[in-house]
Structure 1
Amino acid sequence: MAEERPARPSDIARAALEAARAASAARPQPTRRRVAGPRRRWTGPGPGADDPQLFGTLVDALVTQQDWTARTKVGAVFGRWDTLVGPDIAAHCRPESLNEGELLVVAESTAWATQLRLLAPSILGRLRAGVGGDVVTKLRVVGPTAPSWKKGPRTVRGRGPRDTYG
């Protein structure tokens, strides 16, 4: 009588693989149908829409999508004042407010206020070139304000506190 050897793991695996191949061959093969529609386009070596984007590109797209272009132009006048008008002019004045196209600029002295009034067409040209023509249409320059002696809502005509100095 011949002794049967126990099955080795490799024999069991080989038998299972042959059984799976036989079952696969006996099954009918599905026919591939082409689905009509847009074909997927691969982006290739360049960046695609689903790749990480530059932050500036995303912000520009958001500003355009939300229609914030007018507000960003107004913000650019205040935020980029030094580069728009130049460091020499920006050192002696600052933008205060922008209402309905009129930019209020406060100068550090009355002499600089006069100089800026003479340079107003040049400054407006720089602002139009840097930000856009429809944002700032008029420039109003004022000098520094003098200190006020008023301490409340009511005043009395006259010399005020100076008449008590002796």
Structure 2
Amino acid sequence: MPESPSPDEDRNEVTADEATEPDALALARDIADSYRGASTPPLRRRRKRPTKTGGRTNREDPVPVADIMGELVRDRGWDERLSVQRVFTDWPAVVGPDVAAHSTVEAFDDGILTVRADSTSWAKELQLLAPGLVRRLNAELGQNTVLRVDIRGPQAPSWKRGPRSVRDGRGPRDTYG
């Protein structure tokens, strides 16, 4: 009668059979590679380091928005216009908070800055300060950007139309009877 293998030998035979069978993880890798179309994993490409040549090296490289906006402003020729717009936004910094509280910038056309004061006394004060304002604005915005400052007083109401107007009258003097 043949001898039956001992339990230890039986265990060794099973492990020997398992050793010849492919590993489950290796089998999964082979299946995934076959779906990719290659039997070996794809090689990873090395990225070149971007070289600074002044512009963007690659459209996919991240660039700060401020740099892109700066390029756009320079390319379109908007540098001077934006510097002039600083007169409107930085008026309190140029003249000081007290004067800025009583005056507003209305327009800037052809080197002439138009400022409206809220009272006649502030309009006179700004007329006296006008040469200094021109020097200060030209120092901040660039030479010969502001040629002169036109100061206007408060705008009086017009009585030509409305409930207090009189047709064929002598003007505002006739409205009060």
TM-score, normalised relative to structure 1: 0.64
Question: Identity of paired residues, percent?
Answer: 41
The answer for the alignment partner of 1:163 in structure 2 is 174
Greater relative contact order (Cα 8 A, min sep 6): structure 1 or 2? 1
Please tell me whether Structure 1 or Structure 2 has the larger radius of gyration of its CA atoms. 2
Aligned residues: 136
Q: Is residue 69 from structure 1 mapped to residue 91 from structure 2 by the alignment?
A: no
The answer for the alignment partner of 2:151 in structure 1 is 141
Distance 2:159 2:147 in 1: 35
Kept in 2: contact 1:101–1:135 (CA 8 A): yes
Structure 2 residue runs without a partner (length 5+): 6-12, 27-47
Q: Which deviates more from structure 2 when the two are superposed, residues 60-69 or residues 99-108?
A: 60-69
The answer for the alignment partner of 1:78 in structure 2 is 88
Structure 1 residue runs without a partner (length 5+): 17-39
Distance 1:136 1:9 in 2: 90
Cα drift, residue 101 of structure 1:
0.7
After superposition, the Cα gap between the structure-2 partners of 1:127 and 1:12, relative to the gap in structure 1 and judged at 3 Å, is same
TM-score, normalised relative to structure 2: 0.60
Cα drift, residue 10 of structure 1:
4.0
After superposition, the Cα gap between the structure-2 partners of 1:72 and 1:10, relative to the gap in structure 1 and judged at 3 Å, is farther
Cα drift, residue 64 of structure 1:
1.6
